[in-house]
Chains A and B, each alone.
Chain A
Amino acid sequence: MLFPTATFGLFFLVVLPLSWLTMPWPHRWRPFIIAASYVFYSWWDWRFVLLLAGCTIWNQVLAVRIWQARVPSQRKGLLVLALAGDIGVLGYFKYYDFFVSSTDNMASLVGLDLPLSLKSIVLPVGISFFTFMAISYVVDAYRGDFQPTTLEKFAVYLSFFPHLVAGPIVRPAELIPQIATPRNPRRVDTSRAFYLIATGLFKKVVIANYLASSIVDEVFAAPGQHSSLEILIAVYAYAVQIYADFSGYTDIAIGIALLLGFSFPQNFDSPYAAVSVQDFWRRWHMTLSRWLRDYVYIPLGGNRGGTILTYRNLLLTMLIGGLWHGAAWTFVVWGGLHGAALVGERWWRDRRGVAALPHPGRVAALARADPDLPLRLPRLDLLPRRLVRRGVGDDRGALHGVG
Chain B
Amino acid sequence: MADRPLPQLPPLLDDATRTLERAAAPTPPPEPRRRRARPPRDEGTPRRQWSAGHALVVSVLALALGLLLNAPGIHKSAFNKPAGWERDVALAFTGPLAGISDALLLDRPREGIQALVGRSGADEIHTDLGIPSPSPASPTRPAPAARPKPEPTRKLAFSPQKKLRIWIAGDSLVITPGYAIVRAAGASPAIEAVGSVDGRVATGLTRPDVFNWFDEIRRQVKKLRPRAVVLAFGGNDDKAYMTGVPKGTELGDFGSWSWRKEYGRRVGGLMDTINRAGAFVIWIGLPQTRSADQTRRFDVVNAVAQRQARKRAGRAAYIDTYTMFAGDDGGYAQYLADGSGRLEKVRSDDGVHFERIGGDMIARLVLKELNKEFDLTSWRKKPNA
Binding site for B on A (CB under 8 A): 9, 12-13, 16-17, 20, 97, 101, 104-105, 108, 113, 118, 120, 122-123, 145, 171, 173-174, 185-194, 217-218, 221-222, 224-225, 259, 261, 263-266, 269, 275, 278, 281-282, 286-287, 289-290, 292-293, 297-298, 302-304, 310, 314, 317, 342, 346, 355-356, 381, 385, 388-389, 391-396, 398-399
Contacts and interface: CB of A to CB of B under 8 A. Distances in A.
Mostly, the A contact residues are: helix
B20 A188 contact: no
B35 A275 contact: yes
A267 to B, nearest CB: 8
A16 B51 contact: no
Given A20-B52, A278-B12, A302-B10, A398 B187 contact: yes
B19 A286 contact: yes
B23 A263 contact: yes
Interface string B1-17: 10010111011111110
Nearest to A263: B24
Interface in B325-376: 334-335, 338, 340-343, 345, 349, 351, 356-357, 360, 363-364, 367
Given A105-B342, A389-B338, 16 more contacts: A97-B335, A101-B343, A108-B342, A120-B290, A222-B186, A265-B20, A266-B18, A275-B35, A286-B19, A289-B13, A290-B13, A293-B10, A298-B10, A356-B35, A394-B187, A395-B187
Given A265-B20, A266-B21, A193 B1 contact: no
B11 A303 contact: yes
Contacts of A259: 52, 55, 59
Contact of A188 (B7, B52, B176, B179): B52
A400 to B, nearest CB: 10
Contacts of A264: 21, 24
Nearest to B11: A346
A260 to B, nearest CB: 9
Contacts of B183: 222, 224-225, 392-394
B357 A391 contact: yes
A188 B35 contact: no
A275 B8 CA distance: 22
A13 B60 contact: yes
Contacts of A108: 340-342
A338 B196 CA distance: 34
Contacts of B4: 145
A287 B8 contact: no
B51 A188 contact: yes
A118 B335 CA distance: 8
Contacts of B188: 398
Given A20-B52, A264-B21, A398-B189, A221 B11 contact: no
Contacts of B173: none
Given A16-B59, A264-B21, A392 B184 contact: yes
B50 A188 contact: yes
A122 B188 CA distance: 38
Interface residues of B, number: 65
Interface string B52-71: 11111011100100000000
7 contacts: A194-B58, A218-B196, A259-B52, A259-B59, A265-B24, A278-B11, A290-B16
Contacts of A297: 10, 12
A189 B23 contact: yes
A191 to B, nearest CB: 5
Contact of A221 (B197, B349, B357): B197
B49 interface: yes
A310 B340 CA distance: 42
A392 B332 CA distance: 24
A190 B1 CA distance: 26
Interface of B: 1, 4, 6-8, 10-16, 18-21, 23-24, 33, 35, 47-56, 58-60, 63, 175-176, 179-180, 182-184, 186-189, 193, 196-197, 290, 334-335, 338, 340-343, 345, 349, 351, 356-357, 360, 363-364, 367
Contact of A265 (B21, B55, B364): B21
A118 B179 CA distance: 27
A348 B203 CA distance: 54
Contact of A293 (B8, B13, B349, B351): B13
- Centre residue among A391, A394, A396 by max chain B CB count within 10 A: A391
Contacts of B53: 20, 185
A84 B345 CA distance: 28
Contacts of B58: 190, 194
Contacts of B51: 185-188
Given A224-B183, A342-B11, A120 B349 contact: yes
Contacts of B342: 105, 108, 388
Nearest to A269: B18
A182 B183 CA distance: 59
Contact of B11 (A225, A263, A314): A314
Contacts of A17: 56
Nearest to A16: B56
A185 to B, nearest CB: 4
B193 A171 contact: no
A189 B47 contact: yes
A113 B180 CA distance: 30
Nearest to A394: B183
